[in-house]
Amino acid sequence: MLLNSLAILVGLAVLVWGADRFISGAAALANNLGVSPMMIGLTIVGLGTSAPEILVSSIASYNGNPGLAIGNALGSNIANIGLILGFTAMVTPLSVHSGVLKREYPLLLAITLISLALMWDGVLDQLDGAILLLLLVGILSWMVHSAKTAQSDPIAGEFDAEIPHDIPTGKAILWLLLGLVALLASSRTLVWGATNIATALGISDVVIGLTIVAIGTSLPELAASIASAMKGEHDIAIGNVIGSNLYNLLAVLSLPGLIAPGPFLPEVLTRDQPTMIALTVALFLMGYGFGRQGRINRLEGLILLCAFIGYQSLLFFSLVRT
């Protein structure tokens, strides 16, 4: 048990470091190649923040643990809204200025409901995975189009301020490759430790994915959102979460369907999906604005954070009862 716990801790630490190096290298390389900050922020950085979840879910599904992959996808979305945005908004209230984010709010809500519809039969199969993957391609195309037509959007300046401009191409490629290797190695270590602990304690890999793995793989978004909010880059703080949640549902959740299709625990539909949907609706109502500037204040941040703590408590007490 000690070795497995150590594997999880080391895996998470290296995962966070690798994700940071991977994103920095990819963003710097794209910038050196003349890609616009808006394009980098909406696509490369967005996918990069979900790289830990993507690799963890790929390896878990390949190893025959699709429940861990499903729990990671849904649990990361719950953590992103409840823990990350909730905590960040309590540190400093978040205001929405970006028109791009205004369009992403309803898009995230729609994709969340589509994921529920695909999983409604209690099975995540290859057709479901293929549909999610096709939607990912469509949304990436839309984001590329948005990046080309919304250069004057307020979030473009925030993206430009965050992209490293002083990293030469050779060093950027080195960071990119080192980050990728670190992500691969740490993901394998994390999945190995998490799976062994789930087996030893007799609990489902879904719960491990919803708790330890989901919170751990969301740490890069937590650090990025708090740092952005403290610098007054509120659109990026919220945009990181919206983008990550979109990619989690489309890229991460598609993997267990494509690699290890089959049924999943009924609690996913009765407990985890409703929680994710409720938090996504809350984010939409708080942040969209409906004719005024969207804003997540400290009280609303506290509500989101309490909802996350309540959900994690529910998971804990369900394990105690079993």
Q: What does the pLDDT look like over 181-222, one tens digit per residue?
A: 888 888 888 888 888 887 787 788 888 888 888 888 777 677
Contact 75, 210 (CB under 8 A): yes
Average pLDDT value for residue range 146-175: 77
Cα end-to-end distance, the chain, whole Å: 20
> Which pLDDT value is given to residue 151?
60
Rg for the chain, CA atoms, rounded: 19
Kindly state which CATH superfamily the domain 41-155+187-321 is placed in.
NCX, central ion-binding region (1.20.1420.30)
> Which pLDDT value is given to residue 153?
67
DSSP H stretches of helix in 151-297: 154-162, 169-201, 205-208, 214-217, 219-230, 234-247, 254-259, 267, 273-287
The one-letter amino acid at 24: S
∠ at Cα 216 (213, 217), nearest 5°? 85
Instruction: Compute how many other C-beta atoms are within 10 angstroms of the C-beta atom of residue 134.
Output: 12
pLDDT band at 264; cut points 50, 70, 90: very high
Is the pLDDT confidence value at 260 over 80?
Answer: yes
Pairing assessment for the beta strands 94-96 and 123-124 based on DSSP bridges: unpaired
The one-letter amino acid at 133: L
> Which pLDDT value is given to residue 45?
76
> Which pLDDT value is given to residue 193?
84
Is the pLDDT confidence value at 321 over 60?
Answer: no
Average pLDDT value for residue range 301-305: 95
Hey, where are the domains in the chain? Answer: 41-155+187-321
- DSSP 8-class letter at 166: S
Average pLDDT value for residue range 156-183: 83
Arithmetic mean of pLDDT over the chain:
85
Average pLDDT value for residue range 18-41: 82
Quick: pLDDT tens for 84-142.
999 999 988 888 777 777 788 889 999 999 999 999 999 999 999 999 999 999 988 88
∠ at Cα 182 (179, 183), nearest 5°? 85
